[in-house]
Structure 1
C-alpha cells in the first residue's frame, strides 16, 4: 500500500486489535500479512486484526471481518464488535447516541448504548447443535460432553456464538491448566476446525471468573464471545439463573453478559479503548 498501512490500535478489556479502514473497497491483507501485522516484535502486535468494510445488510452502518494473530479467519469477536462500534462513532460513520447495526462474519448485530455511554452488543442466539461448531461424535446437543484429553477425561459444555466454544468449569481458575488443556482440546479430532476453550469459575449466581485459550491466538486477556458462551452454557446446565445479568471477570477486565433464554439472545457490554493511530511501513509492510 503506497504511503504505508494506516491503522488504529484498540483494545476491549485487554483483548487488543489492529483496525484497518477498507470502506473504500481496498482488499484486505492476506493471511501472511495479517500475521506480520499481529507480530508483537516485528509488527504492530495484536490478538486479532479487524477490517472495517461496507455494510452487507440493509440499514447497517458498516461490516467487519476478523483475522487471528496467526492469519487464520475468525467468525466472531465480541470485544472486537464493541471496538468496531466505538471506531465507527469516532469516524462519524455511526451516531454518537442511540442504536445502530453492524455486520460481522456471523451476521447482523444491534448496538445499543449503556448508561455510562459504552456499547452493548446483541451477540445473537447461541447454537448448541454439535454440527454448528462443528464437533464430531455427537448428533444431538448435550448439556455436558466428555472426552479423553491429555490423559484425563475432560468434561465441558459446547456452543457456537458464530465461532466455536468449549466451556470447562474449574474450581480454582488461577491454577487451571489453561495452556496445556486448551491446546490439547483444540487439537482433538472432535473439533476438526479447532475450538476456543474457556475455563470458568462460578463465584456466585451473578459473577464468573473466566480465562480463554483462543484458537489462532492463545490465551488472551479477554474474550467477549467466550464470556457469552460461558454464560449460555452454564445457564443451560442450570448453574446460573435464567435471564439474570452476570459479571464476567477476565484477566483484562469485566464484561457484562445477559442471556435471555426466552428470546434466545445474548447481550454483552464492556469497555473499549483507543490506544494509538499509526502507519506501518518498511520492508515488512504488506
Structure 2
C-alpha cells in the first residue's frame, strides 16, 4: 500500500504469528531488490488496551521499530476496513505511546487525529545544551552546524515530536535543498539521542507548503505524514502559516489542520490524505 507515495508492506499479525520475525528479516522484506520493497512495514495486531480496537507496529526499512507513522496510519484503517477485520468507522488504534482516531471518508480519503504535538525536550527527545537558539514568533529555533558550505553553516530548525521526533527547517527552494547531504547529518546529530526525521519546508503561501523529509532509518521518502504535521505546526508557531495547510510532497498532497495552543494546551493535529492498495501476495521468508 502507499499513502501519497510513502509505501508500506502491511501484514496481518492477528491471524498469523509474526512475533518471531527478526530485525534482519524485516530488512529483507523491505529490500527493494531482494524482497518486496517498502519504506516501512506495518504490523496489525490485537489491541493490548481497552480503549483501542487494534494495535499496530511500525518497522523502518533498516529493521528498526519506530513509534509513529502518519501515512501508515491511513493505510492501516483502509486495510482493516477492506479486509473486514472491523466494521467500525472511526477506529481507535494503539501505537507506541498513544491511541489514534482514524476515519475513512466517503471520498476515499482517510482522516487521522494525530494527537497533540510534543514540545518538551525530554519527551522528543532533544538535548539543547550548547546549541544556539533564537525566538521567532512563538517558536524557538536551534542552530545545528551541519551545513554543506565550507566550514559549515547553521541550519535553524524547529524541534518537536508527533509521536516521533522531527527537526524542521525552512528553505527557499525545496527542489534544490541539500536533503541527501544534510538529511543524514541532521538525523544522526548528537542532539537527538534517538535520531530524528529531518524536514525541509518551502512556504508557498500562508496555506500551502512544499515538503521533503529525510526519515530516520528509511532515507528520503516520497511523503511523510508525521513530517507534514510537524512542518505545519512549526510553520504556524513561526508565524508563517495559517491552518489548514496543503502540504505538497513528491508523492502527493496532504491536508493538515492545527488549531494551535488554547489555554496553554496544545490541540490535536488533524491529517487528511489518500491510502491506496497496490498489490497483494504471499512471501516466504528463508
The answer to whether TM tops 0.5 is yes
Q: Give the distance between the partners of 1:138 and 1:122, measured in 2 at CA.
A: 33
Residue 25 of structure 1 deviates from its aligned partner by 6.3
Q: Per the alignment, in what secondary structure is the counterpart of residue 126 of structure 1?
A: coil
**RCO (CA 8 Å, sep 6+): is it higher in 1 or 2?**
1
Q: Match for 1:45 among 37, 48, 60?
A: 37
* Partner residue, 2:182: 181
Q: Match for 1:279 among 253, 268, 282?
A: 282
Q: Give the distance between the partners of 1:251 and 1:117, measured in 2 at CA.
A: 20
Residue 70 of structure 1 deviates from its aligned partner by 0.4
Q: Per the alignment, in what secondary structure is the counterpart of residue 55 of structure 2?
A: strand
Residue 112 of structure 1 deviates from its aligned partner by 2.3
Task: Give deviations 1:163-204, integer Å, cap 9, x for gaps.
Answer: 000001011111000111111111211112110000000101
- The yes-or-no answer on 1:100 pairing with 2:91 is yes
Q: Which runs of 5+ in 1 are unaligned?
A: 1-9
* Partner residue, 2:72: 80
Q: Match for 2:145 among 138, 143, 148?
A: 148
- Alignment length (residue pairs): 271
Q: Per the alignment, in what secondary structure is the counterpart of residue 282 of structure 2?
A: strand
Q: Give the distance between the partners of 1:115 and 1:19, measured in 2 at CA.
A: 23
Q: Per the alignment, in what secondary structure is the counterpart of residue 86 of structure 2?
A: coil
Aligned-residue CA RMSD (Å): 1.8
Q: Give the distance between the partners of 1:54 and 1:215, measured in 2 at CA.
A: 27
Task: Give deviations 1:134-176, integer Å, cap 9, x for gaps.
Answer: 1112499952111211411110101100100000101111100
* Partner residue, 1:112: 103
Kept in 2: contact 1:61–1:93 (CA 8 A): no
Kept in 1: contact 2:108–2:274 (CA 8 A): no
After the TM superposition, list the runs of 4 or more consecutive aligned residues in structure 1 that deviate by more than 3 angstroms.
Answer: 138-142
Q: Which runs of 5+ in 2 are unaligned?
A: none
* Partner residue, 1:228: 229
- The yes-or-no answer on 1:91 pairing with 2:83 is yes
Task: Give deviations 1:59-94, integer Å, cap 9, x for gaps.
Answer: 422110000000011110000000000000011123
User: What is the TM-score of this pair, normalised by structure 1?
Assistant: 0.90
Kept in 1: contact 2:211–2:247 (CA 8 A): yes
